[in-house]
Amino acid sequence: MAGTTTADPSPGLPGDRPPAAKRAVRPGWRDPRLWVGVAIIAASVVLGARLMAAADDTVGVWSVSAEAPAGSEVAEVELEVQQVRFADTSALEGYYPADQPVPDDLQLTRTVGAGELLPRSATGPVEEAGTLEVAVAVEPDQVPATVGPGAVVSVYLISPDARRPGEPVLSSATVVDAPALSDSFATSGRRQLVLAVPEDQVATYFELIGGVQTPALGVAVE
């Protein structure tokens, strides 16, 4: 029996071959995506550093832990430290920084409330004359808008029959409290100011206004 020959199977079609494996290629240093990523990371680091710096941008300032009346020596006043962030750094000059002791030879020239920062404007040398708190009723239109606690003012008697027209009846008086007109002498239409007045001026002040039938007072900021 004649032998038969079998033809070799034909090679597979191209579509039957497995796809060639592709190697992962790392982006080169010229790839713009690389630089975009670096820029994002750098911006994040800078922003984080600025946020951390802003969160710690405070300074310690001496404050009064309990209300202290005018005339109190600062050395005897109970103080504590408050961490404060000032929008205007120059405002710190008006207070006593906690990294330095407050001088002992000072006294309060006005009452300082509990929790209030200790302002330099509310202190003066101990050897100065003492002060007394005096409530005065002033004409609302004669009070400058800048008058508030801590302001130093002079008070004038502006009544037509005043004995000393044009001269202050009180001078170098420190404003302790300046309530709004609605919280003052509503029936009289006058505004109340509470002043820390040098003790040697108090008697003369009451004598002068006592000699006027309807005293009218005006205020000027020194």
Q: Answer whether 0.75 is exceeded by the pTM.
A: no
Pairing of strands 106-108, 168-177: unpaired
Q: Sign of the CA dihedral 99, 104, 110, 112?
A: positive
Burial of 117 per CB tally in 10 Å (0-12, 13-18, 19+): middle
Domain boundaries, the chain: 59-125, 131-221
Q: What is the structure's pLDDT at 81?
A: 93
Distance CA 72, CA 189 (A): 34
Distance CA 151, CA 196 (A): 10
Q: What is the structure's pLDDT at 1?
A: 47
**pLDDT tens string 138-183:** 888 888 888 887 788 999 988 776 666 667 889 888 888 888 766 5
Distance CA 99, CA 109 (A): 23
Amino acid at 61: V
Q: What is the structure's pLDDT at 87?
A: 79
**pLDDT tens string 25-80:** 555 556 666 666 667 777 777 666 666 655 557 889 999 999 888 778 888 889 99
Q: What is the structure's pLDDT at 155?
A: 92
